[in-house]
């Protein structure tokens, strides 16, 4: 379970109503455990969900979702995705042995000692756990717009991960302060996020020299291209190395590494 004794990193949170950077937390009835986060300037309140995630979306009456995005909001998605699909996904998609150890090693090499880290589109927290198992002291915030998957991430957290936190928010409007994050990581999410608005937000919250690491499905040729055209109807978008490089460049992110494994690409970009 997500640690309930640790203070929330409210200095990293930003008010979505008035834009103030740095929020405050109120203690709840249970001693020491905050029950909400609020903005000291405009008073906007952001409640905590039962999972411990801070909910920055609850006040929206309508959350626009593509079909691909909506799947993560269905009951049981995170449980099945994390246990039945994710540990084998990269080996199946790349056609080579690509288990969690190899994936975690690459991720650790590419982000180095960056701190704090945002896990964007975290779902059940798969990449966060790869990081925190290796480095439990690192501050990691998992962000997703689906409440159910954050419940799963909280369930799978270790109580001694005192600097692991969850927020329910939109990638294209992050409740996070500017220029504060050492790394943003995004495992299997970039294809379903609104690309340019999300990249703009990633660039905004990164420190100068901060890194963005993504693993996603790249644009394919042949039968893969046909399949991807069909998948496009669900809202998924696929991009080649040069297309992604152009989108990254437009927001001030410099593509530095691009590893291609068949269907899958690992990308490292640096904020200039
Ligand atoms: C395929 S899952 C990725 C899970 C995980 N990161 C991994 O490595 O396997 C994509 C996640 O992105 C989230 N997502 C999609 N669009 C989003 C948006 N606009 N804002 C925040 N999260 C979003 C979905 O809810 C879903 O949990």
pLDDT, tens digit, for every residue of 216-249?
A: 999 999 999 999 999 999 999 999 999 999 999 9
DSSP state letter for 32: T
Q: What is the distance between the alpha carbons of residues 253 and 200, in angstroms, rounded to a whole number?
A: 9
64: confidence class by pLDDT, cuts 50, 70, 90: confident
CB 130 within 8 A of CB 103: yes
Pocket of ligand 1 (CB under 6 A): 69, 72, 86, 121-123, 126-127, 144-146, 149, 170-172, 187-189, 192-193
Q: How far is CA 21 from the centre of its chain?
A: 20
Distance, CA 31 to ligand 1 centroid (Å)? 33
CB 218 within 8 A of CB 264: yes
Which pLDDT value is given to residue 58?
86
Q: What is the distance between the alpha carbons of residues 33 and 97, in angstroms, rounded to a whole number?
A: 43
Ligand 1 atom, smallest distance to 186 CA: 6
Q: Is 108 exposed, middle or buried (0-12, 13-18, 19+ CB in 10 A)?
A: middle
Which pLDDT value is given to residue 29?
53
Question: Does the domain at residues 50-271 carry the CATH identifier 3.40.1190.20?
Answer: no
Q: Average model confidence (pLDDT) for the chain?
A: 94
Domain ranges of the chain: 50-271
Mean pLDDT to the nearest integer, 59-76: 83
- Percentage above 90 pLDDT, the chain: 85
Which pLDDT value is given to residue 1?
81
59: confidence class by pLDDT, cuts 50, 70, 90: low
DSSP state letter for 219: P
Which pLDDT value is given to residue 20?
98
Residue with CA at minimum distance from ligand 1 atom 17: 193
Helix or strand holding residue 106 (H, E): helix 100-111
| Pocket probe mutation, ligand 1, options 16, 62, 65, 72, max atoms within 8 Å of Cβ | 72
Distance, CA 144 to ligand 1 centroid (Å)? 6
pLDDT digits (tens, 9 = 90+) for 261-270: 999 999 999 9
pLDDT digits (tens, 9 = 90+) for 124-156: 999 999 999 999 999 999 999 999 999 999 999
Helix or strand holding residue 204 (H, E): helix 195-205
Ligand 1 atom, smallest distance to 189 CA: 10
Q: Which residues, at least 6 apart from 246, have a Cβ–Cβ distance to it below 8 Å?
A: none
Which pLDDT value is given to residue 259?
97
| Pocket probe mutation, ligand 1, options 192, 205, 215, max atoms within 8 Å of Cβ | 192
| Pocket probe mutation, ligand 1, options 69, 92, 197, max atoms within 8 Å of Cβ | 69
Q: What is the distance between the alpha carbons of residues 188 and 130, in angstroms, rounded to a whole number?
A: 14
Q: Which two tokens stand for residue 112?
A: 């180095």
Distance, CA 252 to ligand 1 centroid (Å)? 23
Ligand 1 atom, smallest distance to 66 CA: 16
């Amino acid at each position: 379970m997500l640690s309930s004794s640790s203070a929330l990193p409210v200095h990293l949170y930003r008010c979505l109503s008035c834009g103030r950077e740095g929020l405050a937390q109120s203690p709840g009835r249970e001693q020491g455990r905050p029950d909400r986060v609020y903005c000291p300037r405009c008073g906007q309140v952001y409640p905590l969900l039962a999972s411990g995630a801070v909910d920055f979306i609850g006040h929206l009456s309508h959350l626009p979702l593509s079909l691909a995005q909506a799947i993560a909001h269905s009951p049981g998605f995170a449980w099945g995705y994390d246990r039945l699909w994710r540990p084998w996904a990269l080996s199946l998609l790349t056609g080579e042995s690509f288990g969690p150890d190899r994936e975690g090693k690459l991720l650790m090499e590419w982000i180095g000692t960056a701190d704090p880290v945002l896990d964007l589109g975290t779902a059940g927290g798969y990449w966060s756990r790869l990081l925190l198992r290796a480095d439990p002291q690192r501050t990691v915030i998992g962000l997703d717009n689906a409440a159910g998957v954050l419940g799963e991430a909280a369930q799978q957290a270790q109580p001694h991960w005192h600097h692991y936190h969850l927020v329910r928010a939109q990638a294209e409007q992050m409740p996070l302060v500017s220029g504060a994050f050492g790394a943003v990581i995004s495992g299997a999410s970039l294809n379903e996020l609104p690309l340019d608005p999300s990249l703009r937000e990633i660039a905004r919250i990164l420190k100068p020299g901060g890194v963005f690491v993504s693993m996603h499905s790249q644009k394919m040729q042949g039968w893969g291209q046909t399949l991807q055209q069909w998948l496009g109807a669900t809202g998924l978008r696929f991009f080649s190395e040069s297309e992604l490089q152009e989108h990254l460049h437009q927001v001030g992110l410099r593509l530095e590494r691009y590893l291609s494994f068949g269907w899958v690409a690992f990308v490292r970009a640096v904020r200039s």
